Amino acid sequence: MTWNTFIALNLIGIGSNFDNTGIGMAYGADKVRMPHWVNGLINLIGGLIALIGAYAGNTIAQFLSISEANWITCIALSGIGLFFWYAAYLHPHISNQKAKIRVASLGLRQAFLLGLAMSLDNIVIGFGSSVSNTPTFWAVAVSITVWGYVMLWIGHVVGFGVLSKFLGKYSALIAGGILIGVGVNQLVS
């Protein structure tokens, strides 16, 4: 592997996972714990989906366009953001329970669904690596997985440690806004 290939692989991994940082910050700001195994599962799904995109890119591209993948990602992330707002601000006013709905830690089901929602664009990246005859599409999938884990972890640490202390009672508002912003960004980019 040449130095240029190594740099390109890392840039692909970083570039395809900027949204992970925002999502990590959103969950961290709302003090939702993200265990390392959840982060690993989310990004393993992303790497597998990139491989699926590389192997079956032509077939998948016939059924799911880039625009459709971006819309699905936008809707899923915006839905999670809206849930943050509902749980913090609307639910206490409309239910008999005045306590906020609280998600303390992400579990297997949330990790799986979040992994799928966050990695639909990896189909396109995997497809691009196979179409461009990149002989290293396995390396692309590994780069996406590793950098996805690192960037989600960094975002979560910053959100949990720094943002949650400064945001206080507005953490759910900001966290929901970040998730919706990342979702809308999928449509714009």
Quick one: three-class SS letters along 97-120? CCCCCCCCECCHHHHHHHHHHHCH
List of long-range contacts for 88-96, beta carbons under 8 Å, 24+ apart? 88/30, 88/172, 88/173, 88/176, 89/172, 89/173
Nearest Cα residue to 111 out of 85, 71, 148, 64: 148
In the chain, where the domains are located: 3-188
Q: What is the mean pLDDT for each group of 10 consecutive residues in the chain (189 residues)?
A: 78 78 85 90 88 69 73 80 81 67 74 80 64 64 89 89 74 79 78
pLDDT of residue 38: 92
Please give the Cα distance from 102 to 111 (Å, whole number). Answer: 17
Strand partners, 33: 105
Strand partners, 21: none
